[in-house]
């Protein structure tokens, strides 16, 4: 019970400390975030761990009890190494593909779009996505099944580690900066930046355009592991941070449309959130420069 409590508490402490440091650095007071943005960020931060993730877990446990009850705790004595590998593959790798698909499919992009329309970084960006983006995310369902199969103890450690890495990768505190400052650290940096998401590589994913030579809006999709980007050819490593963030389609929709699409749609017929498919849909894999040229 104590590990369960710590597993939830540690990422929350990280979130508060990083958010506090960012606020002290002036991040949230520069006018780039509207009240609408804060509402999206705080609501998605609250809904994912309290409603979506537990809801998916309860559903998967119920379904497993109905269909595969003989497999409950079947892998409980499986080696910890293989249990970690199972979470990396069934949760983190599937999330890589889910994220990548959301940048390649026009309808899926509408669910991931809230994550990219804010023009600055910070821990609050981490979980801003439409609720359906998480409610349908394969990795959460597969994690629940692994827990049913007996891997719950490893999940108590795996999940906070993953959350901390991804919170840090969005945070303006840029923990990785020091790795690039000293030459003798470059070998260590080489290994780290190819293994896990760092602020430099993940900020590049949020960069506005690849024209700056740093950003990689259609790559660097990894969450916990950056290794997936290396393996699947979507990695870009520059050890620099972009200056401009956001998505080129900056039409700001009310928070309830961004979070609840397609259950709540935009009233504006020019908005891509007006319907599941519209004639104004944006191909998210087109970079901003080519997008402007198309207009
Ligand atoms: Zn993305």
6 located within any domain: no
Distance in Å, CA 152 to ligand 1 centroid: 28
- Angle subtended at Cα 281 by Cα 41 and Cα 211, rounded to the nearest 5 degrees: 75
Distance in Å, CA 70 to ligand 1 centroid: 39
139 located within any domain: yes
Distance in Å, CA 78 to ligand 1 centroid: 34
68-116 confidence digits (pLDDT tens): 999 999 999 999 999 999 999 999 999 999 999 999 998 999 999 999 9
- Using CA atoms, how far residue 163 sits from 36, 176, 241, in Å, is 24, 17, 21
Distance in Å, CA 62 to ligand 1 centroid: 32
Distance in Å, CA 66 to ligand 1 centroid: 36
Q: Is the pTM of this model over 0.75?
A: yes
Distance in Å, CA 116 to ligand 1 centroid: 7
100 located within any domain: yes
The least confident of 67-76, 125-134, 264-273 is: 264-273
Quote the percentage of the chain above a pLDDT of 70: 96
23 located within any domain: no
131-179 confidence digits (pLDDT tens): 999 999 999 999 999 999 999 999 999 999 999 999 999 999 999 999 9
Distance in Å, CA 205 to ligand 1 centroid: 7
- What average pLDDT does the structure give for the chain? 91
164 located within any domain: yes
Strand partners, 196: 225
152 located within any domain: yes
Q: How many domains does the chain have?
A: 1
Taking Cα atoms as reference points, which of 258, 289, 280, 265 lies closest to residue 39? 258
Distance in Å, CA 10 to ligand 1 centroid: 25
22 located within any domain: no
> Does residue 295 have a pLDDT over 60?
no
Residue 286 tokens read as 């087109």
- Domain range for 142 is 35-290
Distance in Å, CA 2 to ligand 1 centroid: 34
- Using CA atoms, how far residue 187 sits from 165, 184, 193, 243, in Å, is 20, 7, 10, 26
């Amino acid at each position: 019970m104590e590990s369960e409590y710590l597993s939830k508490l540690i990422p929350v402490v990280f979130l508060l400390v990083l958010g506090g440091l960012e606020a002290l650095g002036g991040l949230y007071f520069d006018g780039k975030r509207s009240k609408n943005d804060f509402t999206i960020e705080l609501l998605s931060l609250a809904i994912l761990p309290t409603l979506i993730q537990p809801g998916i877990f309860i559903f998967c446990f119920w379904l497993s009890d109905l269909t595969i009850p003989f497999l409950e705790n079947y892998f409980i004595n499986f080696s910890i190494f293989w249990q970690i590998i199972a979470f990396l593959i069934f949760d983190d790798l599937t999330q890589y593909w889910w994220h990548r698909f959301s940048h390649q499919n026009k309808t899926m992009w509408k669910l991931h779009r809230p994550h990219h329309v804010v023009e600055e970084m910070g821990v609050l960006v981490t979980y801003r996505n439409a609720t359906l983006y998480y409610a349908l995310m394969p990795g959460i369902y597969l994690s629940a099944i692994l827990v049913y199969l007996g891997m719950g103890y490893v999940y108590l450690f795996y999940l906070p580690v993953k959350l901390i890495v991804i919170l840090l990768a969005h945070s303006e505190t840029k923990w990785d900066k020091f790795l690039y400052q000293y030459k003798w650290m470059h070998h260590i940096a080489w290994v780290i930046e190819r293994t896990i998401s760092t602020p430099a590589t993940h900020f590049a994913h949020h960069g506005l355009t690849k024209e700056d030579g740093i950003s990689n809006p259609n790559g660097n999709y990894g969450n916990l592991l950056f290794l997936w980007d290396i393996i699947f050819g979507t990695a870009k490593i520059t050890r620099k941070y972009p200056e401009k963030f956001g998505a080129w389609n900056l039409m700001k929709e009310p928070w309830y449309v961004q979070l609840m699409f397609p259950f709540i749609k935009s009233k504006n017929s020019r908005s891509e959130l007006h319907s599941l498919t519209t004639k104004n849909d944006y191909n998210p894999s087109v970079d901003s420069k080519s997008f402007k040229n198309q207009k």
